[in-house]
Amino acid sequence: MRVTCANSKVGILSWYEGELGWRAGQGGSLPMSEDRGFRERMARARRAARRTLNVLGDRVFWRLSRTEIKRLLERYGDCGAEGIYEIFDRYRGMGWYRRVGASQVRSEFTSLFNEVWVRQPRIVMEIGTARGGSLLAWCRLAETLAISIDLPGGIHGGGYAAPRAKLYEEFAHGRKGVKVALLREDSHQEKTKTLVSSLLQGRRIDFLFIDGDHTYTGVKRDFELWKPLVANQGMVAFHDIVDHPQQPSIDIRRFWKELRASFITREFVQDYASGFGIGVVYL
């Protein structure tokens, strides 16, 4: 989707829509210096300019992005995992609402989606939302309530810009009776559990997806804190259960081994040598 504006605004929006280029004047570009400091300054300048454009154009960007996501949800939102990925591929939002996508390997996430789908969950909760791809999927599966917990500034990519919340609330578009609750909170805190309990009103979570703090202590805390709110015969899934040689701070594998010794589990892993992987615990 492209916004056309008169006069100088065309040049600004053309630059904005580019991912990597820095346009100046009549199609010129700044030199790509090998100087690290220069590159960092340019990166900061790009981020600052993008934030400014996001703010200035928010009213138009939101209207266009909302129309786009609703159109795609109406067409593909109830077409299973393939429909979800069609939305990821086709969606062209603007401003704060630019992209929606999943950080998981497609084959792994598709397998998980199908595993959850057949169980027809009433309530789904995820820890770690970021670009919103997995949340979109859960909003199309949950029959009554989809809950997101995401900590602004959290490690390993946590957090999303506050204006994106209204985009995420649209993910249940067309699904009568399904509510979306977005909590920008720390999943390790008891007060967050209290907030979720008030949303549940005595009900239990049918499926919990943990993809937030990827440290051993963090993921263990998430499981131990939230497991009591998961239904009997419910499911808990973890992302990144395979070792990440390039990111040693990701240490879910260690806790995953402990879980396998105590629960019935299943793994969806495309390639054990490349990291990632999704593990499911059946309660």
Write out pLDDT tens, residues 94-105.
Answer: 999 999 999 899
* Backbone angle region of 277, left / alpha / beta, with phi > 0 → left and psi within -120 to 50 → alpha: left
Q: Which of the four pLDDT bands, split at 50, 70 and 90, describes residue 32? A: low
Mean pLDDT estimate for the chain: 88
Q: What is the pTM of this model?
A: 0.83
The predicted structure's pLDDT at residue 16: 44
Domain locations along the chain: 9-56, 80-282
3-state helix, strand, coil in the chain (%, to 5): 45, 15, 40
pLDDT surpasses 90 at 44: no
Q: Would you state the structure tokens that stand for residue 3, as one six-digit string?
A: 């916004």
Q: Which CATH number fits domain 80-282: 3.40.50.150, 1.10.287.3510, 2.60.40.420, 1.10.8.10?
A: 3.40.50.150
For residue 33, pLDDT over 60 is answered with no
pLDDT at residue 37 in the model: 81
pLDDT of residue 201: 97
Q: Torsions phi, psi of 93, nearest 5?
A: -80, 180
| 34 pLDDT tier (thresholds 50, 70, 90) | low
Tell me how far apart the alpha carbons of residues 110 and 278 are, in angstroms, rounded to a whole number. Answer: 11
